[in-house]
Amino acid sequence: MRASPDDLEIVERLRAGDEATFMDLVERLQPSMLRVARMYVATQAVAEECVQDAWLGVLQGIDRFEGRSSLRTWIFRILVNIAKTRGQREARSVPFASLEGERSDEPTVPAGSFILGGELAGHWSTLPQDWRGVPEDRLLAAETSGVVAAALEDLPAMQAAVIRMRDVLGMSSEEVRNALHLSETNQRVLLHRARARVRRALDDYVAAGKDAEEEP
């Protein structure tokens, strides 16, 4: 995926020394960059250092950006190189499995959601709610963003990185795979689990609203 016209314009402005463009880019990418760095290093403080170093690397390398990948992929690759090196140097490289933070066979909905045996095995035991019936103010972005933000904070590092890059930043699956060196399947499994947890948090929030309504 090559750089877009928007990407190229941002690069031109950075080369011309445009501060506002730089700070805008920082504000948009920093939260995701921190989560990605955190995949490779042991502490938040070291992750912050890696991100700082990555921005320096971006500026120092900006003249050499050729647009063969998107700007974001290029930035995240710089970051991953720095964070990986730092993690290895500190002999704290975190094993892949513990980055996942959970067993690979953990179900994405609570096991009790489905009927276990008999003719209806595998069917919903309680139907998922139709959120369209929920009062409008419950599902406004302002109300739910706290729920979503909290759910993202609880995610294991790799799930957090993938869902932030895909769903918060809107990067493509190809960009994320290239930046994080993940296979298509890996990337999709991480996204699947992360989304399932956020959905669950929103569902609990919606259900809590209904319970509150129904109280006398």
Q: Which is nearer to another protein, 97 or 116 (CB)?
A: 116
Question: Does 48 interact with another protein (rule: CB under 8 A)?
Answer: yes
**CB 126 → another protein: shortest distance, Å?**
8
For another protein, the closer CB: 121 or 212:
121
Task: Single out the residue of 44, 60, 88, 98 in contact with another protein (rule: CB under 8 A).
Answer: 60
Residue 202 touches another protein, criterion: CB under 8 A: yes
> Which residue's CB is nearer to another protein, number 95 or number 185?
185
In contact, 206 and 131? CB cutoff 8 Å: yes
Site stretch for another protein (CB under 8 A), options 5-13, 77-85, 89-97, 106-114: 106-114
Binding mask 111-150 for another protein (x = CB under 8 A): ---x------xxxx--xxxxxx------x-x--xx--xx-
Q: Does 17 engage in binding with another protein (CB under 8 A)?
A: yes
Q: Does 13 bind another protein (CB under 8 A)?
A: no
> What's the min distance (Å) between Cβ of 215 and another protein?
24
Q: How far is the CB of 80 from another protein (least distance, A)?
A: 19
CB-based contacts of 136: which residues, under 8 Å, 6+ apart?
A: none
| Residue 114 backbone phi and psi in degrees, to 5 | -115, 150
Minimum CB distance to another protein smaller for 67 or for 174: 174
Instruction: Output the CA–CA distances (angstroms, integers) from residue 19 to 13, 24, 216, in the order listed.
Output: 9, 9, 56
CB of 41 to another protein, least distance (A): 16
Is residue 186 close enough to count as binding another protein by CB under 8 A? no
